[in-house]
Amino acid sequence: MKPSNAIGLLPFAAALAAWAIVPIYVDYPSYMLPPLPDVWTHLLETLADGTLAGHVLNSLGRLALGFAVGTGIAIPLGIAIALNRHVADTLKPLLTFLQSIAGIAWVPLAIIWFGIGIGSVVFVIANTIFFATLYNTVIGVQAIPQALHRAVRSLGGKGLSLASVLILPGALVQLIVGFRTAMAYGWRALVAAEMIAGTNGLGYMTIEAVQWYRTETVLLGMIAIGLIWLVMDRLIFEPIERVTVRRWGIVQR
């Protein structure tokens, strides 16, 4: 790090120092902001007994399941909408309306249908990821040049071979860009859904701690939610996007 950038660490240092010093001089209920050492010990405890790892794994598993269900429905439907005008005209207004009902508004209904727990949470994540992926699939397939369609068709490609030779590879770049957006929305939906309808996972851990005023757990949950998303986005999705866009993308530079 350049020395000129080190100044950016000042606010962090100031915040940590204030967090360490203020409780000594100001009297306030400790649940409002537990002392720094307490949060640290709590982190070590939950790491040692595996509760934090358990919640993280549960959350990630649900995200993966919701992602698989959401994209599994969205990609075929998106291809159908992009290729067939009748399907597009019939479904677009309905889908636009359903899309405008934010995923999180489905949670209470999902609880009635699937009960508190994994079913409701996965339903809401899949719903959120479905719409983000659908939009990008339609855009991606529509962007394939008409000439390529004609070429593959005139060589006898149709049905599955058309899909595997032209449509999926042609839409791939846009799909991967879409996956990254979908994950950003999906992660928010996951945390929110776990807070309302979860029985475990990071969102549940965080909101449950509010009931008992265990603020150190709330803080840990927040930081874990931020860090995991940052790691997923920057270390997994951004590199994949960069590599695909560079290799197959039609990027004008």
Partner 1 sequence: MAGTLTQAPPRGLPWSRRLARPAKGAAGILLFLAAWQISVPLVGLEPYFYPGPADVWTAFVDLMRKGILPVYTVDSLSRYSAGVGIGIVAGVFFGVLIGLNAFASRLLSPTINFLFAIVEVAWIPIFVIWWGYGYKTILIALTYVVFFPVLYNTLIGVRTVPQPLINAVRALGGTRAQVLTHVILPAALPGIITGLRVGAGFAFRGLIFAEIVAAKTGLGYLIFEGAQSHQTARTIVGMISVGVIWLLIDQFYLKPIERATIERWGLVTDAEQRA
Residues near partner 1, by CB under 8 A: 4-5, 7-12, 31-32, 86, 89-109, 111-113, 131-132, 134-135, 138, 187-188, 191-192, 195-196, 203, 206-207, 209-210, 213, 215, 218-219, 221-223, 225-227, 229-230
Please give the Cα distance from 35 to 243 (Å, whole number).
44
Least distance to partner 1, CB of residue 61, Å: 19
Shortest Cβ 248–partner 1 spacing (Å): 21
**CA distance linking residue 111 with residue 141, whole number of Å:** 35
**What end-to-end distance do the CA atoms of the chain give, in Å?**
30
CA gap 222, 193 in Å, rounded: 15
What are the structure tokens assigned to 50, written together? 């595996």
Tell the smallest beta-carbon distance from residue 140 to partner 1 (Å): 14
Nearer to partner 1, 57 or 230 (CB): 230
**Please, which residue, 17 or 227, has the CB nearer to partner 1?**
227
CB of 105 to partner 1, least distance (A): 5
Q: Which is nearer to partner 1, 59 or 152 (CB)?
A: 59
Pick between residue 152 and residue 224 the one whose CB is nearest to partner 1: 224
Q: Measuring CA to CA, how many Å separate 235 from each of 59, 180, 227, 228, 240? A: 18, 12, 11, 10, 9
Q: Which two tokens stand for residue 81?
A: 């909408």
